[in-house]
Structure 1
Amino acid sequence: METSSTETMEYKFDISLVRSINKSITSHMPLPTLLESILEVAKTLIGAESSSLLLTDRQSGDLIFNIVIGDKGEIIKGRRVPRGKGIAGMVAETGKPLLVNNAQDDPRLFKEIDDKSGFLTRNIITVPMIVMDELVGVLNVVNSKGKDRYDSVDLEKAQYIAEQAAIAITNRMLYDDLEKRIAELSALYDVANAISLTGHNEDVLQNILSSLSASMNVERASIAIYNREKKKLILEAMCGFEKRGDARIEVDIDSTICGKVFKSGDPLIVSSADGELPLHLRRYRKNYHTDSFISAPIIYKNETIGVLNLADKKNGGIFDSFDLRVLTTVGTQIAEAYQNALNFKNREEQRRLAQEIEIASRIQRGILPRIPAVFHDHRLAAYIQPAREIGGDFYDFFQIDERKYGILIADISGKGIPAALFMGSVRNIINAEKETDPRPSHLLRNCNRHVYNDSESGMFVTLFYATVDMDTRIITYSSAGHNNQLLVRKNRCEEVILNTRGKPLGVLDDQEFQECTVQYEPGDILLLYTDGVLENLGGSDLDADLGERELSRVVSGFADTDPGELINHLKLVMSRNRIATDMKDDITIVAVSL
Structure 2
Amino acid sequence: MMTSDVNVITSSLPLFNRLRTLVPECTWRRLDPRHCHGKIPETPLLLVDAGDFLHSEGRSLISDPPGPSVVLLARSREKDSIPQAVMAAARQVITLPLSRQELLNLISSVSDEHSPVSGRMTSGVVITDSLSSENETEQLRNDLREKCRELSRVRKDLQRKNQELSTIHKVGEIVKTTFVLEELSRMIVELVTSVMACSRCSILVIDDREGDLLIKGAKGLSITLEENARIRTRGAITMRILETGEHLMVNDIEAQMGLAIDRNKGYHSGSFISYPIKVRGEIIGIINVADKLDSQPFNAKDLKLLETLTSQVGLTLENFRMSQELLDKERIQKELEIAWDIQTNLLQKQGIRNSRFGLWVYNRPAREMGGDFYNFSWNEGNRLDLFLADVSGKGIPAALVMVMLRSYLKISRFSFADCGGLLTYLNDLLLEDISDEMFVTAFSASLDLETMTLRFANGGHLYPLLFRNGSVFELMARGHILGMFENIDYEESEIVLKSGDTVVFYTDGINEAMDAGHNEFGKANLVNCVAGCLESIVQSGGDVDGDFIIGEVCSVVDQFTTGMDQSDDQTLLVLNIP
| TM-score between the two structures when normalised by the length of structure 2 | 0.67
* Aligned-residue offset at 1:588: 0.7
Q: Does 1:553 align with 2:533?
A: no
Contact 1:225 1:305 survives alignment (8 Å) = yes
Letter in 2 for 1:352: R
- Higher mean C-alpha deviation, range 251-260 or range 317-326: 251-260
- Give the 5 Å matches for 1:29-48: none
Q: Which digits, 9 at most, give the CA deviation of each residue in 1:398-440, with x for residues without a partner?
A: 1244322111211122322232222111111112226546311
Partner residue, 1:390: 369
Alignment equivalent of 2:549, drawn from 566, 575, 591:
566
Partner residue, 2:505: 528
* Aligned-residue offset at 1:188: 4.6
Partner residue, 1:148: none
* Aligned-residue offset at 1:456: 4.1
Q: 1:285 and 1:376, CA in 2 relative to 1: closer, same or farther beyond 3 A?
A: farther
Letter in 2 for 1:539: D
Structure 1 vs Structure 2: percent identity of aligned residues? 27
Query: Equivalents in 1 of 2:295, 2:155: separation in Å?
Result: 21
Contact 1:294 1:324 survives alignment (8 Å) = yes
Partner residue, 2:317: 338
Partner residue, 1:484: 463
- Give the 5 Å matches for 1:230-249: 230-244=210-224, 248-249=228-229
* Aligned-residue offset at 1:284: 11
Letter in 1 for 2:529: V
Query: Equivalents in 2 of 1:215, 1:400: separation in Å?
Result: 78
Query: Equivalents in 2 of 1:499, 1:285: separation in Å?
Result: 81
Query: Equivalents in 1 of 2:492, 2:227: separation in Å?
Result: 59
Letter in 2 for 1:273: I
Query: Equivalents in 2 of 1:224, 1:557: separation in Å?
Result: 68
Q: Does 1:225 align with 2:205?
A: yes
Alignment equivalent of 1:354, drawn from 310, 333, 336:
333
The answer for unaligned runs of 5 or more in structure 1 is 1-170
What SS does the aligned partner of 2:483 have? coil
What SS does the aligned partner of 1:398 have? strand
Report how many residues are paired: 419
Partner residue, 1:365: 344
What SS does the aligned partner of 1:528 have? strand
Alignment equivalent of 2:564, drawn from 576, 581, 592:
581
* Aligned-residue offset at 1:364: 1.3
- Higher mean C-alpha deviation, range 517-526 or range 214-223: 517-526
Contact 1:486 1:498 survives alignment (8 Å) = yes
Query: Equivalents in 1 of 2:251, 2:498: separation in Å?
Result: 95
- Higher Cα Rg: structure 1 or 2? 2
Alignment equivalent of 2:474, drawn from 484, 491, 497:
497
Letter in 1 for 2:384: Y
Query: Equivalents in 1 of 2:576, 2:297: separation in Å?
Result: 89
- Give the 5 Å matches for 1:55-454: 182-183=159-160, 185-186=162-163, 188-199=165-176, 201=178, 202=180, 203-244=183-224, 248-252=228-232, 255-277=235-257, 287-433=266-412, 436=415, 438-454=417-433
Q: 1:540 and 1:467, CA in 2 relative to 1: closer, same or farther beyond 3 A?
A: farther
Q: 1:436 and 1:519, CA in 2 relative to 1: closer, same or farther beyond 3 A?
A: closer
The answer for unaligned runs of 5 or more in structure 2 is 1-147, 538-543
What SS does the aligned partner of 2:533 have? coil
Contact 1:441 1:478 survives alignment (8 Å) = yes
Q: 1:438 and 1:516, CA in 2 relative to 1: closer, same or farther beyond 3 A?
A: same
Contact 1:467 1:477 survives alignment (8 Å) = yes
Letter in 1 for 2:471: E
What SS does the aligned partner of 1:449 have? helix
Contact 1:473 1:519 survives alignment (8 Å) = yes
Q: 1:284 and 1:483, CA in 2 relative to 1: closer, same or farther beyond 3 A?
A: farther
Partner residue, 1:472: 451
Letter in 2 for 1:294: I
Q: Which digits, 9 at most, give the CA deviation of each residue in 1:229-276, with x for residues without a partner?
A: 212332221111134498612335864422321332211111111222
What SS does the aligned partner of 1:463 have? strand
Contact 1:412 1:459 survives alignment (8 Å) = yes
Q: 1:255 and 1:282, CA in 2 relative to 1: closer, same or farther beyond 3 A?
A: farther
Query: Equivalents in 2 of 1:276, 1:184: separation in Å?
Result: 31
- Give the 5 Å matches for 1:450-465: 450-456=429-435, 458-465=437-444
Query: Equivalents in 2 of 1:468, 1:376: separation in Å?
Result: 15
Letter in 1 for 2:400: L
Q: 1:436 and 1:591, CA in 2 relative to 1: closer, same or farther beyond 3 A?
A: closer
What SS does the aligned partner of 2:428 have? helix
Q: 1:556 and 1:258, CA in 2 relative to 1: closer, same or farther beyond 3 A?
A: same
Q: 1:276 and 1:501, CA in 2 relative to 1: closer, same or farther beyond 3 A?
A: farther
Partner residue, 1:52: none
- Higher mean C-alpha deviation, range 551-560 or range 371-380: 371-380
Q: Does 1:539 align with 2:515?
A: yes
Query: Equivalents in 2 of 1:278, 1:444: separation in Å?
Result: 74
